[in-house]
Structure 1
């Protein structure tokens, strides 16, 4: 058993005890490159999202987290890798593409940072670059109830996975100046329109 599988099993048990609800797992492709595009309200979002799908998910995370003495090593062992925010971090892009071109699953928070209001914010077009270069499908994921999870999240954690989106499905109309921004907006809109878990 890998460290990832062990940690995932422990957290899944904890989340079940907390009464989490997961919907749309059948929308997750069983194989091939996939980008999980997840809204971001809490540091627990990657853990909850990874536990909600059957496949191994590698996350891009801000590089500051990897300088923390213990947590940095845990993140690395879980397959996460650092990204320098506010730059075009070519190392992070190359690592992301390597994961996707190897048929893996990449977890992304296209808003770029946590939403202070809980409302889903504008998505960054870098997600579309990865989608196009790797021919990965994008699965929009809406996570709720993770803010103050262990004090206020009991019975409120929900995860909904939407239908996979591909570049072929997101045809950009003529006259659009920034095509990647337009596609990113469509993906974020699909995330916003996901129903609340029942």
Structure 2
């Protein structure tokens, strides 16, 4: 058993006890490169999302996390890799494309940082660059209940997986001035519209 499998099993058990609700997991393609576009509310989001999905997810995470003693190495063992926020980090882009070239799943938080009020923010166009270069399918994912998870998460944790969006489905119309921004907005809108089915 790998560290990833062990961690996934451990956190899955904990989240199930807390009333975990997972919907739309059948929308994750069984194979091939996939970019998960996930909303970002708390540090728990990657754990909740990865524990919900059948395929291993490689997460891009802020560089500062990898300087934490011990935890930094654990993040790397779990398949996460650093990105320098606020600039074009070519190393992170190359690593992302290598993951997608292998036909694996890349987890991104396209808002770039955690939402302070829980509302979905504007998506950065970097995910569109990765989609275009890799021809990967984009799948919007919305995580609920991770803000103050340990105190208010009981019965409120949910992950809703949206319909896959191929690069062909995300072509900007002629005349659009900023094509990547337009596509990023479409992805974030799809994420925003995801809701928990009763």
TM-score, normalisation: structure 1: 0.99
Contact 2:23–2:196 at 8 Å: present in 1 too?
A: no
For 1:25-82, what per-residue CA distance to the aligned partner results, in whole angstroms no more than 9, with x for missing partners?
0000000000010000000000000011000000000000000002111101101000
2:12 counterpart residue number: 12
Paired residue secondary structure (1:13) = helix
Which residues in structure 2 correspond to 1:1-198 (within 5 Å)? 1-198=1-198
TM-score, normalisation: structure 2: 0.99
Contact 1:22–1:197 at 8 Å: present in 2 too?
A: no
Q: Which runs of 5+ in 2 are unaligned?
A: none
Structure 1 position 196, deviation (Å): 2.1
Structure 2 CA distance, aligned partners of 1:123 and 1:40? 11
Structure 2 CA distance, aligned partners of 1:64 and 1:197? 37
Structure 1 position 197, deviation (Å): 4.3
Structure 2 CA distance, aligned partners of 1:17 and 1:70? 28
What CA RMSD, in Å, does the superposition of the two structures yield over aligned residues?
Answer: 0.7
Runs (4+) off by over 3 Å: none
Residues paired across the two proteins, number: 198
Structure 2 CA distance, aligned partners of 1:64 and 1:128? 24
